[in-house]
Amino acid sequence: MDSRGAVVLLLMLYLSGGASIKLEGNGFTDIVIAINPAVPENPALIDQIKDMVTNASDDLFTATDRMFYFKRIKILVPPNWTPNNFTAGKTESYEKANVVVVEPNAVYGDDPYTLQYDECGKPGRYIHLTPNFLLNDNLIEAYGPRGKVFVHEWAHLRWGVYDEYNHQTPFYISKEKRIEATRCSKDIKGTRGVPSGNSVQPCSIDPTTGLPTETCQFFPEKNQNTHVSYMYVQSLPAITGFCNDKSHNTEAQNMQNRMCNYRSVWSVIGSSEDFKNSNLMVTPPPAPQFTVLQKGRREICLVLDVSGSMSGYERITRLRQAASLFLREVVEEQSMVGIVQFHSVGSIIKHLTLVHDDASREELVKVLPTSASGGTRICEGIKYGFEVLRKDDQNTDGNEILLLSDGESPVDCLPQVNSSGVTFHAIALGPNYAPEIQTMVDWTGGILVLANDKVDSNGLVDAFNAIKSSDGDLIQQSIQLESSGLKVNSKDWFNGTVSVDKTVGKDTSFLIIWETTVPEITVRSPSGKVYGNAAFVHDTQIKTSVLGINGIAETGDWTYSLLNTLSTSQSLTITVTSRAANASVPPLIVKAHMNQESSNGSRPMLVFAEVSQDGLPVILADVRATIESSTGTIKHELQLLDNGAGADVFRHDGIYSRYFTSLENNGVYSLKVRVQGQGDTARLAVRRHSRALYIPGYVENGQVHLNPQKPSVADGDQQADVGNFSRTASGGAFTVSLVPGSPLPAFPPCKITDLSARLEEDRVLLTWTAPGEDFDQGAAESYEIRMSQDFELLRRNFTYTQLVNSSGLTPKESGSGEEHHFFLDEIAIKNGTIIYFAARAKDKESQNSEVSNIAQAALILPPADPPKGVNVLVLVLSVTGVVAAACIIASTVMCVKKRTPAIYA
């Protein structure tokens, strides 16, 4: 067995710790629920979390037909709460938590939601709850019991299913030509109406669409004869299960149908690995077990490789450059930092030191290693790292080790790492590193970052910048605004702009790294103040020049110009870091990652970047990803998109994504993302998906009981201009390992997910976003478009339906808007006509994409008399002080018009 195979085996033997959820028998364990440091201390929150999960365990057991329950849960309270005999935290962290409890913002209010943006069946990122949701019982009337809400969100998080309602398209026309509420199942009974004073009036029908106007709402009956579905409305007492293949509503225009190709929620859940590895339980499950954890101040030990291989490529110098930035600018105030070096043996060069001012930071910088020799024994360094961390309290629980190594090494300390309670972060410098490093990181919930030997990639600086505190306190964290490098020719310039926005500006620092000699430096502030070489602190030993901006840096565009005065070329890099300008305003942040840590080339990988400020999506930014090999010889640039097509699930949700299809070469790769917002383009927006439904009211015994209306929020995509900003973030490392002897990957076009249709006089207009030749890269070769008046026939037997002539349509570049007009020669358009359309793309190798979403065009004339209203019902208004944010799910609207009023769906 080779070393990487041995790692897999050891991973199976020792896997524990971290924040990953596990399934033991039928019980989920190692669920981490973390409370944000900004949440005021309130022990009642702990009790309410326990009560919610206990009830949810029974609800989940019922919903999954006696299959699953919650077994062991960890509740992580903030370090700034008063200690109360809590268990010491180990590798758990707020950043890696499965559920977070955060103060509400003005847009989302107390809506429970799950951050979810991957493919159907792939887990979400985390569940988001607010303290008010957990403490205010008045919210139960609208959201339902907290345990049931948790089951709804758990299905998003664990099994990657999507919502079965749609705020943007709350009604549609069924194949029976009836107006239906978007729901699952269709057996859920209710009535339509518009609240007005002390009565509920009939809904008006929009004469241009044939559908109820936007003020119309659906009020479900409180007592139902069906028990499904959690992913539609979890609040009703009768709801105890998920829609299965029998009860699933394929016609409903919701995200479950769009994302999961019209599969039922239960079908997706049933195909998960959880079901494959579990059997039905005969007896009811035991009550969940809870452990309340708390971690203290950050304690981190740098474990630095100084073996002989570090003497090449100026690696020791580069180590000192990057580690100096980490110690001066990145590590948070009040942290404890120690330093260990190792080659064939290890040694302590600095015991834990409190970081509390510039002098304490410089005390750490001055002891960084200056030379390299000898062999490589990673476990020697780790042993002394443990010794440093034990010095203060005789244990290592909750501490961190940052390991930097450039070479392979025997690793015989995996059991000690696994049981240490230490979170391991690792920086792999160069193409050769011990594969066990990845195992350590995975086991303990740390971060692995890759850096190559190209100076102008700035990889080592980016790697150290990525190792930040994971306690959720963004105010204290260093924010990387700029990271750029260039091989500059003799007498040539390296120019650029970095934008300082209003959320940052404190402790702003410019770091210039030069390969040979100090360049001529000019940094200009937005007001025109010029900082030249004399304003910088130059260190000729480690080849750095540093400028610190006093106070709060000016908001706006800062420009820099670096002139290489040499007669030969040299590499130059610039890094700009800052912190939050105001303790009450969280900074705009970027988080980047790949959808998986490794690929065998069978499917493309996905690149994700989340851009947000105080939990709100930042949209319309320019987001670029750089993927670079560990050797520095392979480099790919991708523009990430937030357009709701291709790899991107939701348009304008602040999640930018793209497929990565260039998987031709084995090796380890790093991900780096740069984000730029300019002028009034980038804006804050409302994220509109994967959240528990807040019902407007319900019908009981002939009476409509209204829940308090949620306060209105900004509709549409634009809400607030965030101004000019710059951000750079590392997205970690991943591995490409192609199967030996297999052909190079050849991918088809990606699925079209936003096909829409409308009738214009006597012809049809179809619109969609163009896929690519290889998923969302390049341009496809051709399109195949089909239509039918039978929804199920088109869904199940695409190739047996009527072909639309698209021979004159040449596919555009991926991400471009497509249109296709054609006449309906064989279908007579009359009142009641419903036509369904679907499409797929083909590439040059005749590979077909998956069939698109199904677009509906219908012509339905409004009835002569208005539908029977519900004004005869008595309106009962609940008196509660609910403040919550409306959520609106983005959806494609397909309009149909042919001389007479029509409907769209």
Is-contact 367 388, C-beta < 8 A? no
User: Which one-letter amino acid corresponds to residue 581?
Assistant: A
Q: What whole-number distance in Å separates Cα of residue 577 and Cα of residue 345?
A: 35
Measure the CA angle with vertex 624, ends 619 and 625; round to 5°. 125
Catalytic residue check, 214: no
Tokens at residue 793, please? 């026939």
Do 557 and 497 contact (CB within 8 A), yes or no? yes
Rounded to 10 degrees, what is the CA torsion of 379, 384, 385, 391? 150
Q: Which two tokens stand for residue 785?
A: 């478009």
**Residue 278 — φ and ψ, nearest 5°?**
-135, 155
Q: Count CA atoms closer than 13 A to 413's CA, side-chain side.
A: 19
Q: What is the 3-state secondary structure (H, E, C) of 570-616?
A: EEEEEEEEEEECCCCCCCEEEEEEECCCEECCCCCEEEEEEEEECCE
CA distance to 486, 549, 559, per residue, from 528 (Å) = 25, 14, 10
Instruction: Label residue 895 exposed, middle or buried (CB < 10 Å: 0-12, 13-18, 19+).
Output: middle
C-alpha distance from residue 765 to each of 101, 800, 839, 858, 903 (Å): 46, 22, 13, 13, 15
DSSP state of 193: E
Rounded Cα gap, residues 668 and 9, in angstroms: 21
- Nearest alpha carbon to residue 457 among 640, 665, 730: 730
In whole angstroms, give the CA distance from residue 159 to residue 127.
13
Give the active site residue among 95, 141, 153, 332.
153
Which residues are within 8 A (CB) of 546 and not within 5 positions of it... i.e. 6 or more apart? 328, 509, 510, 511, 512, 536, 537, 539
SS3 821: strand
What does the H/E/C string look like for 386-427?
A: HHHHHCCCCCCCCCEEEEEECCCCCCCCHHHHHHCCCEEEEE
Task: Compute the distance between CA of residue 687 and CA of residue 747 in angstroms, rounded to an integer.
Answer: 31
Three-state DSSP at 733 gives strand
589: β partners:
612
User: Known catalytic residues?
Assistant: 153
